[in-house]
Amino acid sequence: MSAAATQSDTIVCINPANGETVGFVPITPVHEIPGIVARARSAQPNWCGLGFEGRAELLRPAGATLVERCEELGHLLTREMGKPLAEGIGEVKHCGASLDETIDEIIAALAPTELTDDHTTSMLYRDPFGVCAAIAPWNFPLSMPHWMMIPALVAGNTVVLKPSEETPLIAQAYGGKSNRILSMTYLCPDGFEGIDKCSASTDSFGGIKFCISETDTVGIERRCDSSASSEIGTVLVGVEAKEFQT
C-alpha cells in the first residue's frame, strides 16, 4: 500500500518499498465537484445516443492499448502501492486482454428481453441512469476503476471517478488526458470542444480524478465502494445523494 502523504493541495505518492517519491497529484477542490457532475450530466445524452455498438466500437481499442502498455503501467502500479511486479503487470494485461469479451457480455446482458405468457408479449428495456459515480479502493487500483467504468460506459451512462487517494497515479494513467487510454472522439454538446471534453473521454482533476465516462457494477446500478472512503468521496455522494442507489 502506498505511503501517500497530503501536502495542503497536493497528494505526494511514495513508493512503500523504498520511501522514494513516485509523483505528485493536485487535489480537486470540493467546490468544483458540482460542476464536474454537471458536465458529466450534460455529456451523457450524446454518449447514450451512440447505442450499444457505437459505444463498444469506441471502447474496444482501449484493450489493445492496455496490453501494449502493461509493462509500463504495471511498473507504475507496483511503485505506487507495492504489489509484486508480476501481479501489477498481470492486472493491467488482464484488463486489456479481456476487454472485448467483457463488452460483448455486457451488451448481451443489457439487450432487450422478450417476456411472454399465455396472453401477452412484452419487451423489457434497460435504460442508463445518467451519471454514475465510482469510488475505487487501492488494492486493485487499475482493475477496480476498469470494472466500474466499462460496464457503465457500455450501458450509456457517464461517470465521475474518484480513485483511492493512495493510488491516484495509476488511475490517472488509466484514464487521464495525457495518456488517453480511454480517449475517443464524437460530437459533444454545445460548449464542449474536442476529445478532452467528450463524455467518452476523461478529465483529470488532480488527486481526485473525475472521468466523464460511465461507471457501475453492471452498467445499470450506481455503486460506491465502501472500502474507498474519504472526505472528497463523502462530499461527492452528498452532491448526488438523491440519485444514488446502493
- What's the full length of the chain, in residues? 246
- Which cell numbers hold the place of 38? 454537471
83-105 mean pLDDT: 96
pLDDT tens digits along 161-212: 888 889 999 988 887 644 455 644 333 333 333 223 333 333 333 322 333 3
Lowest-pLDDT range of 6-20, 38-52, 120-134, 147-161: 6-20
- Residue 191 DSSP code: T
More confident residue, 121 or 7: 121
Judge whether 48 and 128 are in contact, CB under 8 Å: yes
Lowest-pLDDT range of 13-17, 73-77, 237-241: 237-241
Element (H, E) at 47: helix 33-48
- What is the reported pLDDT for 6? 55
What is the rounded CA–CA span in Å between residue 26 and residue 205?
8
Number of helical H runs and strand E runs in the chain: 9, 7
Specify which of 58-67, 95-104, 111-120 reaches the highest per-range mean pLDDT.
95-104
Reduced DSSP (H G I as helix, E B as strand, rest coil) percent helix, strand, coil of the chain, to 5: 45, 15, 40
Tell me the sheet residues that pair with 114: 123
Q: Determine whether 220 is exposed, middle or buried from the number of CB atoms within 10 Å of its CB (0-12, 13-18, 19+).
A: buried
Residues 6+ apart with CB under 8 A from 37: 131, 160, 236, 239, 240
Q: State the number of CA atoms in the 13 A half-sphere of 135 facing the CB.
A: 18
Percent of the chain with pLDDT over 90: 43
What is the rounded CA–CA span in Å between residue 203 and residue 13?
20
Of 207, 215, 205, the C-alpha closest to 240 is 215
- Residue 135 DSSP code: E
222-226 mean pLDDT: 36
Q: Determine whether 159 is exposed, middle or buried from the number of CB atoms within 10 Å of its CB (0-12, 13-18, 19+).
A: buried
pLDDT tens digits along 16-35: 999 999 999 888 888 888 88
The structure's pTM equals: 0.73
